[in-house]
């Protein structure tokens, strides 16, 4: 079968599969991020690049309000809405679709928190800058911007990054991670330019792990979310084209597995000044 056009094909594939956590650290990574977020009651929260919506389900079930999701992909937005409906939290979260290069569908200074998981580092420079500009616009003064991403370890050579990003784009339609944030202060400078002060930039996996169980309504919603994923996956596997893609992505991931030692899960926290 001929290779398909690249673009966002891997993300579309994951979406078709109903994948819940579309990021390297899986659900543990989301929990670590949410632990750091530790919302105050009534804070308005936006998940940027909400993907297929599992984190929104989890947060809605935990009582985070008002809660919004934003994604540029129509297929992701559709999947996230269906997941929220399936998990019975559709009236607790509002999912909006963004358009690349256009202002986000939110008023200026409307939100307390914007967070993103595995979104910022895969954006190309121009898009990322417009995203950071929008984050700064929609946040209240003092509002928080948090994101976690797989980012190249300090010291990885530019040529190595370019080589892997090229392969990743060819195989998955997205780069592994931006080359722009290598070197001390690179990410901070970009945030500062748009009125965001860096509060923390460190390795996410080294943060203390949650020890207590999740509240019952959250566990229940997550269970339904997994059922949603399971159903979508079974449905997708009935399609031979899906199985071919699945095989192709799996073998491509094996070829790229050595990248694992060159990247690390980073958490960045910034505040709107």
Alpha carbon of 115 to those of 38, 77, 213, 234: distances in Å? 12, 17, 23, 31
Contact residues for 41 (Cβ-Cβ < 8 A; gap 6+): none
Q: Which residues pair with 67 in a beta bridge?
A: 45
Considering the rule CB under 6 A, would residue 98 count as an interface residue with ligand SAM?
A: yes
Rounded Cα distance between 182 and 2, Å, is 36
Residue 76 interacts with ligand SAM (CB under 6 A): yes or no: yes
Judged by CB under 6 A, the stretch of 20-28, 154-162, 228-236, 247-255 that binds ligand SAM is 20-28
Binding range to ligand SAM, per CB under 6 A, among 21-29, 36-44, 195-203, 225-233 = 21-29
Build a one-symbol-per-residue string for 131-160: x at contacts with ligand SAM by CB under 6 A, - elsewhere.
x-----------------------------
- Alpha-carbon distance 33 to 43, whole Å? 16
Q: Which of 64, 67, 73, 168 binds ligand SAM (CB under 6 A)?
A: 73
Considering the rule CB under 6 A, would residue 22 count as an interface residue with ligand SAM? yes
Confirm or reject binding of residue 114 to ligand SAM (CB under 6 A): no
119 binds ligand SAM (CB under 6 A): yes
Residue that the structure tokens 């998940």 belong to? 47
Say which DSSP state 273 is in: -
Which residues have CB under 8 Å from 5's CB, separation 6+?
none
Which region among 84-92, 111-119, 187-195, 231-239 touches ligand SAM (by CB under 6 A)?
111-119
List CB contacts of 54: < 8 A, sequence separation 6 or more.
20, 21, 30, 83, 222, 225, 229
Q: Which range of residues in 119-127, 230-238, 243-251, 257-265 is near ligand SAM by CB under 6 A?
A: 119-127
In angstroms, give the least distance from the CB of 250 to ligand SAM.
Answer: 17
Beta strands in 123-176 (DSSP E): 139-152
51 counts as binding ligand SAM under rule CB under 6 A: yes
Instruction: Please report whether residue 110 would count as binding ligand SAM according to CB under 6 A.
Output: no
Shortest distance, CB of residue 49 to ligand SAM, whole angstroms? 3
CA atoms within 13 A on the CB side of 204: 28
Q: Let me know if 177 is exposed, middle or buried by CB neighbors in 10 A (0-12, 13-18, 19+).
A: buried
Q: Using the rule CB under 6 A, is 72 a contact of ligand SAM? A: yes
Q: Footprint of ligand SAM on this chain (CB under 6 A)? A: 11, 21-23, 48-51, 70-73, 76, 98, 100, 117-119, 123, 127, 131
């Amino acid at each position: 079968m001929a290779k398909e056009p690249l673009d966002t094909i891997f993300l579309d594939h994951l979406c078709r599969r109903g994948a819940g956590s579309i990021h390297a650290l899986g659900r543990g990574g989301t929990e670590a991020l949410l632990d750091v977020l530790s919302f105050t009651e009534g804070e308005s929260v936006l998940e940027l690049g909400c993907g297929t919506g599992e984190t929104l389900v989890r947060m809605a079930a935990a009582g985070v309000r008002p809660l919004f999701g934003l994604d540029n992909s129509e297929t992701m937005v559709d999947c996230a809405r269906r997941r929220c409906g399936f998990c019975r939290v559709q009236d607790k979260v509002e999912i909006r679709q963004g358009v690349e290069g256009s202002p986000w569908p939110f008023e200026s200074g409307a939100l307390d928190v914007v967070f993103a998981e595995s979104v910022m580092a895969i954006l190309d420079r121009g898009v990322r800058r417009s995203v950071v500009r929008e984050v700064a616009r929609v946040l209240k003064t003092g509002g928080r911007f948090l994101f976690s991403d797989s980012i190249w370890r300090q010291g990885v050579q530019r040529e190595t990054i370019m080589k892997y990003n090229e392969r990743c784009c060819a195989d998955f339609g997205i780069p592994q991670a931006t080359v722009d944030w290598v070197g001390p202060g690179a990410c901070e400078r970009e945030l500062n330019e748009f009125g965001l002060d860096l509060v923390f930039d460190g390795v996410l996996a080294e943060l203390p792990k949650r020890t207590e169980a999740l509240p019952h309504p959250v566990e229940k919603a997550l269970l339904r979310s997994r059922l949603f994923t399971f159903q979508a996956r079974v449905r997708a596997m009935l399609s031979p084209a899906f199985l071919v893609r699945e095989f192709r992505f799996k073998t491509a991931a094996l070829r790229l597995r050595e990248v694992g030692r060159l990247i690390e899960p980073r958490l960045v926290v910034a505040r709107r000044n």
